[in-house]
Chains A and B, each alone.
Chain A
Amino acid sequence: MDSAAIDTRSTGLRALVGRPTRRGAARLARWLATLGLRHVDVAAGGEEVLALAGRRPDLVLLDSGLADGRLIARLRAQAGMAEVPVLMIGRFAGPRERARILALGATDVIDRPATLAEVAARLRVHVENRSLDRSLREVIRSLQGFHTDTVERMKVARGMQLALLPSESLRGELQRRYGVRLDHHFESSSELGGDLWGARALGPERFAVFLCDFTGHGVAAALNTFRLHALMARIELPGDDPAAMLEALNGLLAGLLPETQFATMLYAVVDTAADRLTYATAGAPRPLVGTPDGGTVVGESVGWPLGVSPRATYRNREMAFPPGSFLFLFSDALYESRDWEGRPFGYEGVQELLRWSSHEHEGENVLAVLLERYFAVMPRPLADDLTAIWIGRKRD
């Protein structure tokens, strides 16, 4: 490249030159044209400079004859002109004078006499900065556009995911019908999550509840929750037998999920006539059960996660569940998430928190109390999706 030329990519830039006289300004404009800048506006005098600045130049070159403070200040005050390079060319009395011009808002000063090569070298720096800045802004604008679209799409998808969860009316119906309190919390680590929970009536005295957590989080995990939701709508599934239910779901998922994806799940049936809780787990966290006397019991949990192998079998476990008992289910995020110091909250921490909240706030929304205290020490967003369900049988 000719040392006196400016990178041709910059030729799309618009320059504005200003001198006290039109002839002088035209000469300066010809200089810039020699350097490869094609769009050059020529202004004679300060007012014209201000008027032509409305065309949003990328670079302004002013004769020092126009260098009174007011012009630069008014120029800078115009829309979009705050960051544009303004160069002053002329004879300056010394370093003090140059400093004064810069203090008035000029970006740089070029001392006359200057050769074309010198001017080119000085201008090139500003022009290249400017075009870099401009392409950067274009990139940012396009990223912002992309981001806005994505956020919109994600919002729709998130709405669809939330619609998979039991509705408020179903929750209310279960509470009335079975004499229970059913509270839940569903929080994804990003817009979409890999958790799913559900509940349904099985008969006049029994209902089922489940919590499922797919590997990972985000879009891929969320797609799996839609898969599971669709599978669970199949009527031929043995919904009243937890172990058989998990086996059936495993059989369906094992062929569908990629090699490294699977789901942990707990499926429980509450029988309010027999005062019994029957559940089976597929790699799910151990459930916590509260007894009417205020104690808590850690439920057993053993079983291959769903989707690992088509050969998986599951076992039913039974626990007494009389009025005054509660069942607390949660995804592993509750104890695996880390506090500000990077320490996991821990399963023991969950037990302790549950004991405190169920003891101190019996009859209230224990889950809300528990989570309020939890998030007082745990930073959001959590690294994984969190779902928690609290089902308490009312005392007779």
Chain B
Amino acid sequence: MDYTVRDGDGVREVFLKGQLTFEADDDFRKIIGGMEKDRTGAGVPEMVLDMAGLDFIDSAGLGLLVLANNTANRCQVRLKMRGPRGQVREMIEISEFHTLIPCDF
């Protein structure tokens, strides 16, 4: 998985690309780590995971989304998903993850 980050106006957009699987663990945890507040208490109020570039997710990938959601709740970050397609959308719908993390389809 590759990703790029765009910060602006109180929203961090993370554009995910490729496959969200166990191999993406390190990178995705870095993204999640970005939700933690720094020493001054400053942090990201909202994070959008843009999934248009993802073409595959497996159960380990869903596990990372659960981790992201738990971290977002703890750090009071509004977490959203956006634009999943194909197999990724199918997996999110089957496992109802859009009711866990709001999703713009």
Contacts and interface: CB of A to CB of B under 8 A. Distances in A.
Interface in A258-284: 259-262, 264, 281, 283-284
Interface residues of A, number: 25
B35 to A, nearest CB: 15
Interface string B79-105: 000000001001001111101100000
Interface stretch (A112-120, A144-152, A244-252, A302-310): A302-310
B66 interface: yes
**Most chain B C-beta atoms within 10 Å of own C-beta, residue among A260, A283, A344:** A260
A286 B94 contact: yes
A285 B100 contact: no
Interface in B25-64: 56, 58-60, 62-64
A107 interface: no
Contacts of B22: 216
A215 B99 CA distance: 20
B67 interface: yes
Interface string B3-21: 0000000000000000000
A305 B62 contact: yes
Contact of B94 (A285, A309, A336): A285
A336 B58 contact: yes
Interface residues of B, number: 20
Contact of B63 (A260, A285, A286, A347): A260
B56 A303 contact: no
A302 B100 contact: no
Main secondary structure of the interface of A (DSSP, over half): loop
Nearest to A258: B63
Interface in A7-62: none
A259 B66 CA distance: 7
Nearest to B87: A344
Contacts of A260: 60, 63-64, 66-67
Nearest to A303: B96
B18 to A, nearest CB: 13
B70 A283 contact: no
A256 B95 CA distance: 20
Given A309-B100, A332-B59, A302 B94 contact: yes
Given A261-B63, A308-B66, 13 more contacts: A215-B63, A216-B22, A216-B60, A260-B63, A262-B62, A281-B94, A283-B62, A283-B94, A286-B94, A303-B94, A304-B96, A305-B59, A332-B58
**Nearest 6 Cβ contacts at the A-B interface:** A283-B95, A260-B63, A215-B59, A301-B94, A304-B96, A260-B67
Interface of A: 213, 215-216, 259-262, 264, 281, 283-286, 301-305, 308-309, 332, 336, 344, 347, 384
Interface of B: 22, 56, 58-60, 62-64, 66-67, 70, 87, 90, 93-97, 99-100
